Amino acid sequence: MKAGNTTPDELLYTEMRPVTKPITPVTDVSVEKRARILVKRSMPPFRIDFDLLDWQSTLPGLRFKTHREGSKQIRLMEFTSDFVEPQWCEKEHAGIVLEGTLEIDFHGRFVTFPPGAGIFIPGGASSGHKARAATPVARIVLVEDVAPS
């Protein structure tokens, strides 16, 4: 393939070849952690395949899939009308609503986020919030800073 006849996408593809890392054996870890490591190894570089990740749930009406790299994580979250946030969240969030409508209560000021709406909530007590699905199901993606694992 000649450089002069290459499209930008072809050039990008040829320049971004995956880096081959030696695969170290997974030992002395739980079966659950071993499975997460193997799933992560099977994903192509630069892309997160949420279909390969298991749903997790910590509260009724909320489930999520998380991919973490260093001090960042991306979460696919699904809220149903059964979800009730037990306390005010003061964490920073940035993301987008994929499906359904999310309503966020900022200490009595309600903001509605329809599909395609961006979410940017600064951290701190002054932006404390509680989210809920305003439709039977609301799906969002959040990108968040986290402590490195």
Distance of CA 6 to CAs 14, 17, 143, Å? Answer: 10, 16, 33
Alpha-carbon distance of 30 to 74, in angstroms, equals 23
3-145 is classed CATH 3.50.50.60:
no
pTM for the full model?
A: 0.70
pLDDT tens for the chain, residues 1 to 149: 444 554 444 444 444 444 444 545 545 556 666 555 555 556 667 888 899 899 999 999 999 999 998 899 999 999 999 999 999 999 999 999 999 999 999 999 999 999 999 999 999 999 999 999 999 999 999 999 998 76
Question: Tokens in use for 136?
Answer: 């039977």
